[in-house]
Amino acid sequence: MNKKSIKRFHTLFFILPIFLVTIIIFQISYNLNTISVNANVNWDNWVVENESKKYIKWVDFTPTFEVLDKTSKLDIDSHTNDEDIKLNWIELISFLACKYGGDFKRFNQKDLNSLIDNLRSGKTMEELTKKYKNYSYFYEAYDAVLHEFIGDFETESTDDSGNKTYIKKYGIKAYLPIASNYSFSHYDDFGNSRSYGYKRVHLGNDLMGSIGTPIIAVESGIVECLGWNQYGGWRIGIRSFDNKRYYYYAHLRKDRPYAENLSEGQIVTAGDVIGYLGMTGYSIKENVNNINVPHLHFGIQLIFDESQKDGVNQIWIDVYQIIEFLRKHKSEVYRNTDTYEFYRKNKIIDPSIPREKYVYGTY
């Protein structure tokens, strides 16, 4: 080896390790960076099979009554007063969810005020939520819950000469599941443990009331399930037209659980009488009262992909705050004195019901 080649060897000996170490450091920092970017997105709540099939696998519905109440009023007022900037309560709630990391106990009126000020000054929700990577998750999750709670509808009214007319409205169009003028009590019992059958948790809200209380369809939809279920007793399952919500009404009255002629596949309109409160269930044998306190078990299941409807991947949300919110909108009923059957007093036309499906309905 001459002097020159020894020098070249030395150079290589020093440079090569530096080069390799640089590559390794670069690689590690790139990986860490990728991980931290992903950590900001709520990937835990999403299932991504491929780009075309990405759906939510878990939702905790945590907005409080106060937040639902305030944002709904802002939304409705901005529409009924035909303000230039129309507010969307689902967007407002989703923004707040990002700000509080889903913990609405941290709600501060100032945050809502400044959001409204920004929107009214012409800023878009897209601009205001750029920094929030979870915004699209929260929006999709909350929209799946509240999609048909506020919107356009028409209410029936009778003019001075006795003719029925329909008046266009914008407002709350989902109803409390308990008819107007019937009392009930409840507390937030979601997730409590239940011992009948096997160890499981309570996936709804129990509304304690008297037997025979008319039960009201919260949202318009298709009766998907009707009949006896070991746990729920006489129960009704109603699916929303966008397929994302499955409403579950259980423990209905012995002998006469359902509104007359109610059948699977039938269309019901929000506010219709669908059945009667009772105490059936917890029995393999049909038409048995086996629960102690008469109540309606009410639940909402979210379905982003049909694989979530049955089995172990079900998403049921805590509806306690929703029930509190729906106290504002009750369906008035009257009783046919011959048949003892109850009917709604005030009909509505709900545009969420596909026009061609009205043949089954009340119109």
Binding residues (CB under 5 A) for Zn ion: these are 204, 206, 297
Supply the minimum distance, in Å, between the C-beta of residue 252 and Zn ion. Answer: 12
Identify which of residues 101 and 191 has a Cβ nearer to Zn ion in the complex.
191
Identify which of residues 63 and 204 has a Cβ nearer to Zn ion in the complex.
204
Residue nearest to Zn ion (CB): 297
Identify which of residues 179 and 319 has a Cβ nearer to Zn ion in the complex.
319
Closest CA to 350 of 274, 271, 275, 273: 271
Q: Do the beta carbons of residue 145 and residue 300 sit within 8 Å?
A: yes
Supply the minimum distance, in Å, between the C-beta of residue 321 and Zn ion. Answer: 17
- Distant-in-sequence, close-in-space partners of 281: CB < 8 Å, separation ≥ 6: 229, 230, 231, 232, 233, 234, 235, 250, 251, 288, 290, 291
Give the Cα-Cα-Cα angle 91, 329, 320 (nearest 5 degrees): 65
Q: Do the beta carbons of residue 276 and residue 254 sit within 8 Å?
A: no
Supply the minimum distance, in Å, between the C-beta of residue 289 and Zn ion. Answer: 15
- Residue environment code for 130-145, b if the CB has 16+ CB neighbours within 10 A, otherwise e: eebebbebbbbbbbbb
Identify which of residues 75 and 206 has a Cβ nearer to Zn ion in the complex.
206
Identify which of residues 206 and 350 has a Cβ nearer to Zn ion in the complex.
206
Identify which of residues 206 and 219 has a Cβ nearer to Zn ion in the complex.
206
In eight-state DSSP terms, residue 213 is: P
Supply the minimum distance, in Å, between the C-beta of residue 275 and Zn ion. Answer: 15
Supply the minimum distance, in Å, between the C-beta of residue 315 and Zn ion. Answer: 17
Closest CA to 215 of 235, 229, 243, 231: 235
Supply the minimum distance, in Å, between the C-beta of residue 266 and Zn ion. Answer: 24
Supply the minimum distance, in Å, between the C-beta of residue 187 and Zn ion. Answer: 12
Q: Where are the beta strands (DSSP E) in 267-330?
A: 267-268, 273-276, 295-302, 315-317
Identify which of residues 92 and 176 has a Cβ nearer to Zn ion in the complex.
176
- In this structure, which amino acid lies at residue 3? K
